[in-house]
Amino acid sequence: MTTDLPFPAADARALVRTALDEDLGPRHLDVTTLATIPADQVRTAHVVARAPGVVAGVPVVAEVFAAVADLIGCAAPDVELLVADGTAVVRGDVVARVSGPVRAILIGERTMLNIVCRLSGVATHTRRWADRLDGTGAMVLDTRKTTPGMRHLEKYAVRAGGGTNKRMGLYDCAMIKDNHKIAAGGLAQAYAAVRRTFPDVDIQVEVTTVAEALEAYAAGARFIMCDNMSVALLGETVAALRAQDEPVEIEATGGLTLEVARDYALTGVDYLSVGGLTHSSPILDLALDLID
């Protein structure tokens, strides 16, 4: 599990280049801005919160405007970041100040907002979950249900919002689910195959009943995911696993909502995993305003 906050700069740089190519086309043109704004016009703009929330991805502001300046051959705007990632903002708060060629500012405006609004939306949604679980001893986890090409950035935003990252991909942790059990001939067979083939990789096993949870424990699993259980069944499963000789990490997953999150957390699980942190978070509304 990952809770620290290193910003994935290389991923941001690659995403910004892809997004600008998409927006500006093969000749890197913003026909409106290039036609209406003189090349020597210099102004200041503010990136402003239009709604309350938690910001994430603020370093992208400078990345976008530097990339635009490189594409159109002008000086890079100066960017002053006024709010750190993970900070709660209210409507009207200035997140960043951008000063420099107006062409670069306007050409990069939407690309910057698309990315920062998206990441801030993930952070804002995650903070609601983290606040709901406060004091229960349980943490909220993300999943692999991320936007293609944005996984490291979206998982960074989860951390900025107070959540914790689960596995980054298929390579860093084994997760044995129903289809693996069926194809391998059973839970124990699937667990043994992973342990034999990748002895140093952590293994998580998904279960749906108390009996299956105990079977997973007997097979060697020490991280058990309880999928789509009722609160009552989850509590029974947690009690059965906590009664075993060795400690077990337990996760509730599947169909969780903010309304029931605390009830699930109070069963004694360590984690609640929520795909909606990344696949269903609305954006945080931010805007860029030129200053008169």
| Assigned token pair, 108 | 């990069």
Per-residue pLDDT tens over the stretch 63-82: 999 999 999 999 999 999 99
Number of structural domains found in the chain:
2
By residue range, what is the domain housing residue 193? 131-279
Q: Assess whether 113 and 140 both reside in one domain.
A: no
- AA letter at 86: G
pLDDT tens digit string along 175-190? 999 999 999 999 999 9
Main-chain phi, psi angles of 42, to 5 degrees: -125, 130
Q: Which residue among 177, 195, 222, 262 is the active-site one?
A: 177
User: 282 pLDDT exceeds 90?
Assistant: yes
Report residue 217: phi and psi, to 5°. -60, -45
Tell me, yes or no, whether 234 and 188 share the same domain: yes
227 catalytic residue (yes or no): yes
Residues 171 and 228 in one domain: yes
Do 135 and 275 share a domain, yes or no?
yes
Which entry of 93, 142, 154, 206 is annotated as an active-site residue?
206
Quick one: pLDDT at residue 165?
Answer: 96
What is residue 89's predicted lDDT score, i.e. its pLDDT?
A: 98
The CATH number that applies at residue 198 is 3.20.20.70
211: Cβ contacts below 8 Å, ≥ 6 apart: none
The pTM for the full model equals: 0.95
Is 3 inside any structural domain? no
- Both tokens of 182, joined, read 């069926």
Catalytic residue among 43, 97, 145, 222: 145
What average pLDDT score do residues 277-290 get? 98
Tell me, yes or no, if 145 is annotated catalytic.
yes
For residue 155, indicate whether it is catalytic: no
* Distance (Å) of CA 69 to CA 60, 100, 117, 268: 14, 10, 22, 52
Whether residue 110 lies in the annotated active site: yes
pLDDT bin (cut points 50, 70, 90) of residue 278 is very high
Q: Can you tell me the distance from the alpha carbon of 284 to that of 239, in angstroms, rounded to the nearest whole number?
A: 40
Q: Which amino acid is at 240?
A: A
